[in-house]
Amino acid sequence: MKIVTWNINGVRARLGNLTHWLSESQPDIACLQEIKTVDDQFPRAEVEALGYNVETHGQKGFNGVAILSKLPFDEVNRGLPGDDADEQARFIEGVFSTDRGALRVVSLYLPNGNPIDTEKFPYKLSWMERLQRWTKQRLELEEALVLAGDYNVIPEPKDARHPENWLGDALFQPETRQAFRRLKSLGLTEAVRAVTDATDVYTFWDYQAGAWQKNNGIRIDHLLLSPEAADVLVSASIEKHVRAWEKPSDHVPVAIDLNLGLPVKAAA
């Protein structure tokens, strides 16, 4: 089963790219971030026409997450628990049935946190703490769990072409990286790093200063796997070529293949 995460940076602005990519890449489950639209304005019909079920947690103008699935949803949960006052649309969980039991897939868009001398950085760290608490509870179910999304975390210096340029950025702060390590230490496997230790492996290139042409990238889009998911991990890859398309997102899709022994079911 192919599961992919992609920060699309505006689904209506890049609908052509989305439908072309879905047809080309053929993910079984696609997790989108920064859809930047309310639920009823998501281009549902165009996506459903390609054989996908669609669930969204949207917000006007910014944020917003979605899960597109060729499998029917057994359950959908919106919003990260732990702060009733948090109205930002950054988290959606879908539950699916497989031959090996339940599969839980989360599409998440972790706060950026910049500038670090504002309330945005504590919000980022608080959100990561909430995610850690939620994940610990979900892991007790001993099910295949995939936490897929734009984490806005550069885990290690090798995950940036020029790490020295990110020293003052929330994505590379020691507190941010420590929170990411605490999350992984619950027993999660980071899919891309499970298959390669290579440098020069990025998922984001800024629109400015020729970053794409110079390969001045960072790796901030991740898929974290529970032990039950990691045990059936076949491969992980970055679909870098999508960044060269016309009107691209500044992120590219990151894909994993899990051997769940599941024949693809038609969308309901």
CB 187 within 8 A of CB 181: no
Residue 1: pLDDT over 60? yes
Residue 199: pLDDT over 90? yes
Q: Looking at residue 117, what DSSP letter applies?
A: T
Q: What is the average pLDDT score of the chain?
A: 96
What confidence category does residue 262 fall into, taking pLDDT thresholds of 50, 70 and 90? low
Can you say which residues are annotated as belonging to the binding site?
Answer: 7, 34, 150, 152, 250-251
Q: According to the model, what pLDDT value does residue 82 have?
A: 95
Identity at 260, one-letter amino acid code: L
What confidence category does residue 266 fall into, taking pLDDT thresholds of 50, 70 and 90? very low
Q: List beta partners, residue 222.
A: 149
How much is the average pLDDT of 233-238? 98
Can you say which residues are annotated as belonging to the binding site for Mg(2+)?
Answer: 7, 34, 150, 152, 250-251
Global confidence as pTM: 0.96
Domains in the chain, start-ordered, CATH in brackets? 2-258 (3.60.10.10)
Active site residues: 109, 150, 251
pLDDT tens figures, 76-135 = 999 999 999 999 999 999 999 998 899 999 999 999 999 999 999 999 999 999 999 999
Question: What 3-state DSSP class applies to 163?
Answer: helix
